[in-house]
Amino acid sequence: MVVVLEGNINLNVFYKVVRRSHAPTLLCCWREKVETWDILCINEAATQCLTEYQLNLPEFKQILYDNLSSCSTDIKPNEVKWQRTFTAYLESFTLEANIIFRSEEEIYFLLNIEEKIEEIEVEKIEYDELDGDSKLNIGVAKPKRLPCYWNSLSSIIEDKYKVIVENSYDIICLTDKEGNYLLASHSYLPVLGYDPLKLTGQSVLSYIHPNDHKRIQETLIKMVETKEESEAVVYRKMHANGHYKYFEGKGMPILSSSGEVVSFVVISRDITDMKNRDDLLIRSEKLALAGELAAGIAHEIKNPLTTLKGFFQLTESQLEPYRDVLMHELNQINNIIEELLLVARPRAIKEEKVDLLNVIRDSLTSIDTEIQLKNITIDLQLCDEAYLFCAPHQLTQVFINLLKNAVEAMDNEGNLSIKVKKVDQTIHIIVKDTGIGMTQEDLARLGEPYYSISSKGTGIGLMVCYKVIENHGGSMSITSVCEEGTEVSIQLPGLQTMSLN
């Protein structure tokens, strides 16, 4: 039976936490109207702990009454309060009480029992420091230790991992056999922006990039079959701000006394910066190769093209029926040569102070016809201003290329989103479409000389975009999901951090 409280709190989640925890843990309820404590769930470790302290359940309920009953007045009805922990330091042991929910007449606690820790500072804290107006009658402190469930988790992991659990910024989690969070390390907050306590009961896969689901599921299945530590797996996990970060993780199955896999410990390291450096190095090598090739092609084509245009002008009257077609093709060749030359050798940037928002608006105006023909919705989310020193013509070409690519990738009635914001003098631009997207194989080849997934493209336009952004001291990255769309993320230095060369 699923028990649901007001505020959509599912007690089954907490039953699982208690039963599967290796630490002495209980789920308790203080019934305010009748002033009694009920123990809803107690695990084997807690039962053994009470036996060691020679306490029966009625005696333990009296301890709860004496030390934690007054906490109920601090929690407002229908309010989830995972964040607040009350710690009572008793003569023989420590009670750590996490308040998880309070209804009109009841308050629910998740309790952990720990051995007495000597020489720890216990402070009586005034109630007004916790948004109240009276004084707590229990000791409240921030003990210089990790919560007991992490002590327990450390004990079930091999010695070589204990230092990581206690000190590392690697993210560590304990999941059940189905891949749902049971516990998550404190490092989830600084690394991914999530409160680890709020992850309990949620599926790990809901935070992992859809294209990596199969790889993760295969890894879990293999650990169940072999009952051995997994090989390192590279995958992407969503940050709280909506962007994906790259991680390299290894899992270890936790076995029951009968030898069956009951849960997994997964330790993952953030490798986003390392992968970005590797990608940048590969892209730089590709651009260098493309530059050498482009210089040769441009040199071989430019002179004959000039001759052709000259003779065409001399015989223009005779070729009048074909004039528009010939001029269009000649100009197209000339534009390709100009792009090749831009890739081949850096040009001195004639910089001027420009609001990037105007550059983006001008770029949108240039492709307005294509946008209207496909009935595409434009979603603009722009900051107030985004000034920088730049070559506006070059940046306009970058955004025209990117916006054209986005429009071509979408069928009728797609959505094109452009977001611009400033963070610490860095301008962040995100161009996102709802087009056909790309496979991971296509995405990996972006930036290769003359590679394009469009039948109309040459691949040079994207190379130009990378080159121009690089020349302006910025960076550009692309992510895509097949059949869902593509996102281009650009960072450019704002006015105060731009280097004038």
Domain CATH code at residue 429: 3.30.565.10
Q: Tens digit of pLDDT for each residue in 24-44?
A: 888 888 888 888 888 889 988
Q: Is residue 383 situated within a structural domain? A: yes
- Do both 319 and 402 map to the same domain? no
Domain boundary at 345, 376, 396, which?
A: 345
pTM for this predicted structure: 0.39
Q: Is residue 152 situated within a structural domain? A: no
Nearest residue to 388 (alpha-carbon basis) of 417, 418, 364, 358: 358
Q: Tens digit of pLDDT for each residue in 97-150?
A: 777 777 777 888 888 887 554 433 333 333 333 333 333 333 333 333 334 444
C-beta separation of 301 from 337 below 8 A: yes
- Do both 398 and 442 map to the same domain? yes
Nearest residue to 297 (alpha-carbon basis) of 308, 286, 305: 305
C-beta separation of 385 from 356 below 8 A: no
Domain CATH code at residue 57: 3.30.450
Domain CATH code at residue 209: 3.30.450.20
Residue 236 DSSP SS3: strand
d(CA 359, CA 393): 8
What are the structure tokens assigned to 18, written together?
Answer: 């208690």
- What DSSP letter does each residue of 54-108 carry, written as one string? T--HHHHHHHHHHHHGGGGGGS-TT---TT-EEEEE-SSEEEEEEEEEE-SSEEE
Pairing of strands 377-382, 352-355: unpaired
CA 307 to chain centre: 55
Domain boundary at 122, 147, 172, which?
A: 147
Residue 422 DSSP SS3: strand
- Do both 163 and 56 map to the same domain? no
- Do both 209 and 277 map to the same domain? no
Residues with Cβ within 8 Å of residue 256, at least 6 apart in sequence: 262
Q: Which residue range is the domain that position 281 belongs to?
A: 273-345
What value does the mean pLDDT of the chain take? 74
- Do both 278 and 265 map to the same domain? no
Total of domains in the chain: 4
Q: Tens digit of pLDDT for each residue in 185-236?
A: 888 888 999 988 888 889 999 999 888 888 899 999 999 999 999 999 999 9
**Per-residue confidence (pLDDT) for residue 303, from 0 to 100:** 61
- Do both 374 and 491 map to the same domain? yes
Q: Tens digit of pLDDT for each residue in 68-99?
A: 766 655 555 444 443 345 555 565 677 777 77
d(CA 338, CA 340): 5
